[in-house]
Structure 1
Amino acid sequence: MAYVPAPGYQPVYNPPLPYVTPVAGGLQPGMSVYVQGTVPHHTKRFRVNFACGQQKGADVALHFNPRFDSGDKVVLNSFQGSWAREEHKPMPFHKGQHFEVVFIITPQGYQITVNRAPYCEFQHRIPPERVQVVDVDGDVQLQSINIIGGNMMGGSGMSYPQPGMRSMQPNMPLPPTSLPMMAGPASYHPQVPYVGNIPGGLVSKKTVVVKGLVPQGAKSFHINFKMGYSKDIALHINPRLNENTVVRNSFLQGRWGPEERELPFNPFQHGQYFDISIRCGNQRFKVFVNGQPLFNYNHRVHNFQQIDMLEINGDVALSYVQF
């Protein structure tokens, strides 16, 4: 069961460094870039560059550069033939700990959050649509990098770019996908409990993405796909940290059905970020975590469009939700 990301959502998991991912069509306001990873104990510095090409010496619209070997600070800058004026910010990262950085592109610049807290803004010095790649390198263990939103269309108008293609040429045609575009509004760092309405309900091949963090000391949380008119739960996903399992079930006509617990592995661990993609197939839900297939769940409710509500609650900190 291969992981195929929904159009408008381009995740890459555990890539080697240096890592370069293309941005088809350039960045646009409303798009975001998520970088998740771990800072090793030996780290000196690492960087995230929003560059205008893959070639050496290309302009850099944003250079984000945490430095532990130079006063524990983050340097932000741009490059157009030569480096411009540096901006210095306090160090928000800690050695030996997981982190998440989100770059949200606005008409004015980059809004940057670190570990779900507002961090700083960097005003555009180079138009964001000139950005062709995001590259990461240095003393960091990269867990995932996700480009979210935007056109995501290849040059043929029918193709969608796949992440991780280092040698990709701009507008190179790529295999098309039959998945529907993610049309629902993106929620950045929503509060828990979270309740969202799925416009038009679920349809075949619809994908719902949930990104978040399992806090230290968490016991359990749940993700429910509900039918708003009845409050029945078509799919209940319940990671239980205190039992080291993920329970799946349905609550229909006032009662719970048989639980499903079998897993190839348990990806939910204290202090770690996760990325869940839940795809509604014709016969079953297909659930992936961090790009790896975790389980299938055969439909117990077959009228998908009645499933029109997403509910998330429990011991979890949410980074991003979209459907």
Structure 2
Amino acid sequence: MAYVPAPGYQPAYNPVSVRPAGSQGSSTSTQRGEHVAAPDSPRETLKPLPYVTPIAGGLQPGMSVYVQGMVPHHTQRFRVNFACGSQKGADIALHFNPRFESGDKLVLNSFQGSWGREQHTALPFRKGQHFELVFLVTPQGYQVTVNRAPCCDFQHRIPPERVQLVDVDGDLELQSLNVIGGRTMGGGGMYYPDAGMPMMSSPTSYHPQVPYEAKFPGGLTAKMTVVVRGFVPQGAKSFRINFTMGRSKDIALHINPRVNERLVVRNSRLNGQWGSEERELPHNPFQPGQYFDLSIRCGNQRFKVFANGQPLFNYAHRCPSFQQIDTLAIDGDVVLSYVQF
């Protein structure tokens, strides 16, 4: 069961690095890389940064880039570049450059043959701490949030559709990078409407409150994918992800990580009655103090569920018509990073 990202969702997990020819650094930044550590295992020596992911077709308003990682204690600086090409001297639409060694400041800039005017703001990162970094593309510019809080805005100096790749480098442990929206697929390939896979149509909901509830306009459809990224806090006991049906509130798919029991229970409640539980898994991605990325794809016969890009389980439909599923509900001991479908 191979993982194929949903159209409009381009994730990378524990990314290793491929430097494009002539990759730009910072206007004054270090080129020193930091090895990547997997979030659910002891520190490993992998290929050093930089990490590069292509943006097929460029960026458009409404798209976003999500970066999750950790700032090591020895960090001097790192950067995220939205570059217009991989060749040496390519323009950079946004250069996002936290600097710890020169007054703890965040520098933003652009490069068009030469560096433009720097924009400075307070540094929102702390050494030794994990972070979530979101770049939201708007018609006016980039809105940046760090750890759920507004960080800064950067007005477009270069049209975002010229951006061809996101390039991350420096003193950083990069754990995931997701491109959300547009017509990209994993590996940077283009998505075409006649390929038979519907686009992810809802706006990304960043950091929604729990309990969370959202409606599927027109009901769930075949090949539709729901992406849930979240964090399991220390001391968590249990949480639930439910796909429910109409006024009956029957639950077509109940995903119940029981953190304190180290189980992930799946079930359905139809006509007010719970069915038989399914518990077997190849691995358990829901661990205290760790992030997870869950991709739930609806097929004609079953749900196919992946965690962090790896197969987790299949769940055969038990309800007569999955098109009656119209609500996603999440509650319990979980902190949500974003939900997209």
TM-score normalised over the length of structure 2: 0.85
Query: Would you say 1:46 and 2:78 are equivalent positions?
Result: yes
Q: Distance in 1 between matches of 2:186 and 2:275?
A: 39
**How far does residue 95 in structure 1 lie from its aligned partner after superposition?**
2.7
Tell me the amino acid that sits aligned with residue 226 of structure 1: T
Query: Would you say 1:86 and 2:104 are equivalent positions?
Result: no
**How far does residue 98 in structure 1 lie from its aligned partner after superposition?**
2.1
Q: Distance in 2 between matches of 1:312 and 1:192?
A: 7
Q: Distance in 1 between matches of 2:96 and 2:290?
A: 23
Which of 179, 182, 195 is equivalent to 2:200? 182
**How far does residue 239 in structure 1 lie from its aligned partner after superposition?**
1.5
Q: Distance in 1 between matches of 2:288 and 2:116?
A: 41
User: What is the aligned residue count?
Assistant: 308
Give the equivalent residue in structure 2 for 1:197. Answer: 215
Q: Which runs of 5+ in 2 are unaligned?
A: 17-48
Query: Would you say 1:269 and 2:287 are equivalent positions?
Result: yes
Cα-Cα RMSD: 2.0
**How far does residue 321 in structure 1 lie from its aligned partner after superposition?**
1.4
- The runs of at least 4 aligned residues of structure 1 exceeding 3 Å deviation read none
Partner secondary structure for residue 221 of structure 2: coil
Give the equivalent residue in structure 2 for 1:282. Answer: 300
Partner secondary structure for residue 261 of structure 2: coil
Give the equivalent residue in structure 2 for 1:112. Answer: 144
CA contact (8 A) 2:51 2:167 kept: yes
Q: Say if 1:41 and 1:294 are closer, same or farther in 2 by CA, change over 3 A.
A: farther
Superposition pairs of residues 291-310 of structure 1, within 5 angstroms: 291-310=309-328
Partner secondary structure for residue 284 of structure 2: coil
Give the equivalent residue in structure 2 for 1:144. Answer: 176
Query: Would you say 1:245 and 2:277 are equivalent positions?
Result: no
**How far does residue 177 in structure 1 lie from its aligned partner after superposition?**
4.9
Give a deviation string over 1:173-212, Cα, whole Å, max 9, x none: 99x8542211233322222211111122122221111122
Q: Distance in 1 between matches of 2:59 and 2:176?
A: 19
CA contact (8 A) 1:184 1:199 kept: no
Q: Distance in 2 between matches of 1:300 and 1:112?
A: 42
Give a deviation string over 1:55-81, Cα, whole Å, max 9, x none: 121111111112222222221111111
CA contact (8 A) 1:98 1:271 kept: no
Tell me the amino acid that sits aligned with residue 220 of structure 1: S
Q: Distance in 2 between matches of 1:252 and 1:321?
A: 25
Partner secondary structure for residue 308 of structure 1: strand
CA contact (8 A) 1:29 1:106 kept: yes
Q: Which runs of 5+ in 1 are unaligned?
A: 153-160
Partner secondary structure for residue 323 of structure 2: helix
Which of 135, 144, 162 is equivalent to 2:186? 162
Partner secondary structure for residue 234 of structure 2: coil
